[in-house]
Amino acid sequence: MILPIVAFGDPVLKKKAAPITKDYPKLKELIADMYDTMYHAHGVGLAAPQIGLSIQLFITDGAPFEEEDVKDFKKVFINPVITHEEGNFWTFNEGCLSIPDVREDVDRPEIVHISYYDENFKFHENVVYSGLSARIIQHEYDHIQGVLFTDHLSALRKRLLKKKLIDISKGRIDVGYRMKFPSK
């Protein structure tokens, strides 16, 4: 089932999400719905706060990038902890399903070490990702900390984007997928 994606300006996107236990109600269905929602919107990652749930869960699928290192990057991350980041900072032009039509360059370290539970609540300790898969993880991990990619921009870039972000929060935008606007 395709769920509406919460737009910029909704307080749920600014909140630190809570961990869940393996008896979280209808977890399998929730994950399936999140995949439907992400694919419908042509995303490569989706975090639970983006569908209005303040829990520590995000999903990924790097296939749309058509690059070797993310081809098989369809994964579910539950209660993840980034334990370490390393490598050179590199720039990537990021976007976000909650902030349609906005793309900005963001600098992040190349490599992440992450511990997490998968969809079967199997624990994975200190798995290392680099390149685009690391980038997707960093962006989605930010979401469950209540951080958006626009928070990483310079004061000047933020100022230039301000009107556009207000328009998005008020639903004054054409989007090809279902959204929920905080002040429409």
Active site residues: 140
Pick from 12, 50, 58, 45: nearest CA to 178: 50
Nearer to Zn ion, 96 or 137 (CB): 96
Closest approach, Cβ 101 to Zn ion, in A, equals 13
124-149 burial: b if 16+ Cβ within 10 Å, else e: eeeeebebbbbbbbbbbbbbbbbbbb
CA distance 124 to 116: 5
DSSP letters spanning 10-49 = -GGGGSPPBP--TT-TTHHHHHHHHHHHHHHTT-SEEEGG
Element (H, E) at 85: strand 74-96
Closest approach, Cβ 21 to Zn ion, in A, equals 25
Nearer to Zn ion, 26 or 97 (CB): 97
CA distance 111 to 88: 8
The contact set with Zn ion (CB under 5 A) reads: 96
For residue 151, the one-letter residue type is: D
Pick from 91, 115, 117: nearest CA to 103: 91
Closest approach, Cβ 56 to Zn ion, in A, equals 15
How many alpha carbons lie under 13 Å from residue 52 in its C-beta half-sphere? 10
